Amino acid sequence: MTHIRKIPALLLLLAALAQPAHAAGCYADYKAKQDQPLKLHYGVMELSGACSKSAARDEVAARLQRAGWTLLNVLSVFGPEGLDKRKADAGSNFLRF
């Protein structure tokens, strides 16, 4: 009977381990622009949706558009291990949006 009591705890542990990849942090780096006058920027954004380049395009574009920017390109999608090497290049646009 004691083994049966351990099953719910085991199921909770397995569910926690099976979280989607973005639960540990998923990020996209991108290029964006504004017109009149032309402004360009490179940035890094944390994603809240699916951790894929195609899903990132929609999410990044929508969030940038609210701030008056147009997405040019999502360069890559990566985990937290890629943040440090992109931080200096993104400058003030590092996790800004």
Are 77 and 51 contacting, i.e. CB atoms less than 8 angstroms apart?
Answer: yes
State pLDDT tens for residues 38-96: 999 999 999 999 999 999 999 999 999 999 999 999 999 999 999 999 999 999 999 99
The residue extents of the domains of the chain are 21-93
Give the per-residue pLDDT at 4.
Answer: 57
Model confidence band, residue 13 (pLDDT cutoffs 50, 70, 90): very low
Q: What 3-state DSSP class applies to 34?
A: strand
Burial class, 63, CB count within 10 angstroms (exposed 0-12 / middle 13-18 / buried 19+):
middle
pLDDT band at 21 (very low <50, low <70, confident <90, very high): very low
Q: Decide: 59 and 9 in contact? Cβ < 8 Å.
A: no
CB 44 within 8 A of CB 87: yes
Quick one: average pLDDT of 3-27? Answer: 53
Q: Is residue 2 scored above 60 in pLDDT?
A: no
Q: If you compute the radius of gyration of the chain from its CA atoms, what whole number of angstroms results?
A: 18
